[in-house]
């Protein structure tokens, strides 16, 4: 009851907005299911504390996205961009059911996609997340330390979502934003997310999935669960289904590909990633087999990735191989990945000299 009252009060006192409250700014993105703008509040609504906002005008899928964002805000707020408000804007004349408008705090200019495309990566991220002082000289050790910190933040955010019962299904650098306020990376775009505990969006919208970062399995749920049970049934069953099907491992494959792109400069472009996917498929999704086919004739750029992942006895490579696996149930979870020795490198420094 306390929770209920708190939720009610929070609802009551949270500001509500309508169409005319927003002044549209720069367009930030446009997909098949919506358009995203940077916006500010109209004079009468703005308060000095409030900075810029982001507005997504979404089609019918906006309803699910609002639901997901509300849930994230209550259960694992730091995982995703701060959600402000969502509503159905139905006033547009003669356009049927209208649009869903979703509003977030503007977290900053930089997505991970933009940052990894820079020649300076990962040094362009270093001061953002590690502060100014670095005693290491530029080189693999230092780059690895930055990439490790980004991965820890991504896995932490994912663990929050997964522990809440949400599978994102569209994890990619374009959907990771650097929050200037919190100085961490956060996940955005819950437009393809699914919540298995309450049966929301239970039937996967495969057509939404991005083939560049998707795990080889097309469907998150196995074909043993052909249709969505009604919400109460799903609530009772889904923890078991979650255990059986491990739907969160879909995101783990995608985050593994992000790790790969951060480690290998030559795999950061779209075309290179698509080519990698083709090669990996040809190797039966066995990344060690892929390694043995490309390493003998590897470019210096590709070799650099292997060297980075081979630091400290190859624990980075070990972590990568535990995420990029064909079988979902053989992939590590976000929680287990966070406990991987790769993230305890500080304590292991020096071990490589002892081997
Ligand atoms: P889409 O469905 O078009 O992919 P996204 O939710 O991913 O929509 O948003 C599109 C783009 O808008 C993002 O890639 C990012 O550049 C920007 N963006 C989205 N949300 C935020 C936010 N909270 N703060 C800053 N930029 C954002
Ligand atoms: Mg997106």
Averaged over 72-83, what is the pLDDT?
97
Q: Is any atom of ligand 1 closer than 6 Å to the C-beta of 107?
A: yes
The widest CA-to-CA distance across the chain, in whole angstroms, is 73
Could you give the C-alpha distances from 20 to 40, 60, 106, in angstroms and in order?
11, 21, 19
Name the burial class of residue 212, with classes exposed (0-12), middle (13-18) and buried (19+) by CB atoms within 10 angstroms of its CB: middle
Ligand nearest to the CA of 31: 1
The pLDDT, as a whole number, for residue 253 is: 98
Q: How much is the pTM? A: 0.89
Q: Are the C-beta atoms of residues 207 and 31 closer than 8 Å to each other?
A: no
DSSP code for 48: T
Q: Please state the atom number of ligand 1 nearest to the C-alpha of residue 190.
A: 6
The pLDDT, as a whole number, for residue 354 is: 42
What confidence category does residue 213 fall into, taking pLDDT thresholds of 50, 70 and 90? very high
* Gyration radius of the chain's alpha carbons: 21
Q: Is pLDDT at 347 greater than 90 in this prediction?
A: no
Report the percentage of the chain scoring pLDDT > 70: 82
The pLDDT, as a whole number, for residue 316 is: 98
Averaged over 219-244, what is the pLDDT?
52
- Distance from C-alpha of 337 to C-alpha of 68, rounded to nearest angstrom: 24
Distance 243 CA to ligand 1 centre (A): 31
pLDDT digits (tens, 9 = 90+) for 242-291: 666 788 999 999 999 999 999 999 999 999 999 999 999 999 999 999 99
Q: Is any atom of ligand 1 closer than 6 Å to the C-beta of 62?
A: no
Q: Which residue has the tokens 């929070």?
A: 10
Q: Which residues pair with 166 in a beta bridge?
A: 195
Nearest to 334 by CA among 60, 63, 76: 76
The pLDDT, as a whole number, for residue 5 is: 79
Q: Which residues pair with 22 in a beta bridge?
A: 41
Q: Are the C-beta atoms of residues 279 and 290 closer than 8 Å to each other?
A: yes
Distance 84 CA to ligand 1 centre (A): 14
**Three-state secondary structure readout of 44-63:** CCCCCCCCCEEEEEECCCHH
pLDDT digits (tens, 9 = 90+) for 50-65: 789 999 999 888 999 9
The pLDDT, as a whole number, for residue 98 is: 86
Q: Which residue has the tokens 């950061």?
A: 268
Range from 8-12, 197-201, 227-231 that averages highest in pLDDT: 8-12
Averaged over 135-155, what is the pLDDT?
95
- Distance from C-alpha of 205 to C-alpha of 220, rounded to nearest angstrom: 10
The pLDDT, as a whole number, for residue 16 is: 83
298: left (phi over 0), alpha (psi -120 to 50) or beta: beta
What confidence category does residue 195 fall into, taking pLDDT thresholds of 50, 70 and 90? confident
Q: Is any atom of ligand 1 closer than 6 Å to the C-beta of 69?
A: no
Q: Is 170 a catalytic residue?
A: yes
Mutate to test the pocket of ligand 1, among 39, 60, 110, 188 (most ligand atoms within 8 A of CB): 188
| Residue bearing the bigger pLDDT, 79 or 200 | 79
The pLDDT, as a whole number, for residue 43 is: 78
Q: Is pLDDT at 162 greater than 80 in this prediction?
A: yes
Ligand nearest to the CA of 113: 1
What confidence category does residue 130 fall into, taking pLDDT thresholds of 50, 70 and 90? confident
The pLDDT, as a whole number, for residue 223 is: 41
The pLDDT, as a whole number, for residue 121 is: 98
- Distance from C-alpha of 183 to C-alpha of 188, rounded to nearest angstrom: 15
Range from 72-86, 120-134, 202-216 that averages highest in pLDDT: 72-86
What confidence category does residue 353 fall into, taking pLDDT thresholds of 50, 70 and 90? very low
- Distance from C-alpha of 8 to C-alpha of 123, rounded to nearest angstrom: 45
Catalytic residue among 170, 189, 195, 251: 170
Alpha helices in the chain (DSSP H): 2-13, 62-75, 112-117, 123-130, 140-164, 231-245, 249-263, 270-282, 287-294, 300-323, 334-338, 345-348, 351-354
Q: Which residues pair with 55 in a beta bridge?
A: 37, 103
- Distance from C-alpha of 26 to C-alpha of 347, rounded to nearest angstrom: 46
- Distance from C-alpha of 116 to C-alpha of 242, rounded to nearest angstrom: 33
pLDDT digits (tens, 9 = 90+) for 96-107: 678 999 999 999
pLDDT digits (tens, 9 = 90+) for 8-46: 777 777 778 888 999 999 999 998 788 999 999 987 776
Protein residue closest via CA to atom 11 of ligand 1: 29
Q: Which residues pair with 178 in a beta bridge?
A: 185
Q: Are the C-beta atoms of residues 101 and 56 closer than 8 Å to each other?
A: yes
Mutate to test the pocket of ligand 1, among 35, 36, 168 (most ligand atoms within 8 A of CB): 36
Distance 188 CA to ligand 1 centre (A): 7
Mean pLDDT for the chain?
A: 87
């Amino acid at each position: 009851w306390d929770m209920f009252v708190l939720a009610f009060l929070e609802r009551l006192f949270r500001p509500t907005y309508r169409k005319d409250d927003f002044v549209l700014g720069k367009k930030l993105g446009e997909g098949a299911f919506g358009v995203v703008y940077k916006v500010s509040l109209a004079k009468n609504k703005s308060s000095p504390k409030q900075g810029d906002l982001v507005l997504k005008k979404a089609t019918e899928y906006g309803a699910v996205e609002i639901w997901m964002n509300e849930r994230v805000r209550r259960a694992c707020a730091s995982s995703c961009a701060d959600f402000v408000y969502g509503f159905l804007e139905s006033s547009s004349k003669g356009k049927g059911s209208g649009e869903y408008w979703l509003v977030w705090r503007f977290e900053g200019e930089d997505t991970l996609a933009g940052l990894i495309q820079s020649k300076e990566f990962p040094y362009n991220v270093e001061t953002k997340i590690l502060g100014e002082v670095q005693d290491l000289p530029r080189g693999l050790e230092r780059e690895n330390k930055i990439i490790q910190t980004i991965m820890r933040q991504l896995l932490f955010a994912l663990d929050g979502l997964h522990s809440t019962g949400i599978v994102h299904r569209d994890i990619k650098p374009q959907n990771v934003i650097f929050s200037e306020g919190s100085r961490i990376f956060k996940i955005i775009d819950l437009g393809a997310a699914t919540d298995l505990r309450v049966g929301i969006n239970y039937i996967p919208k495969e057509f939404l999935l991005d083939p560049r970062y998707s795990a080889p399995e097309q469907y998150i749920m196995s074909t043993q669960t052909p249709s969505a049970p009604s919400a109460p049934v799903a609530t009772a069953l889904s923890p078991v289904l979650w255990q059986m099907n491990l739907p969160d491992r879909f995101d783990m494959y995608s985050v593994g590909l992000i790790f790969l792109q951060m480690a290998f400069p030559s795999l950061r472009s779209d075309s290179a990633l698509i080519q990698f996917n083709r090669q990996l498929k040809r190797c039966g999704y066995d990344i060690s087999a892929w390694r043995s086919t490309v390493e003998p004739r590897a470019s210096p750029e590709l070799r650099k990735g292997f060297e980075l992942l081979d630091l400290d006895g190859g624990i980075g490579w070990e972590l990568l191989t535990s995420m990029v696996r064909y079988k979902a149930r053989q992939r590590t979870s976000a929680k287990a990945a966070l406990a991987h020795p790769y993230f305890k490198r500080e304590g292991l420094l020096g071990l490589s000299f002892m081997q």
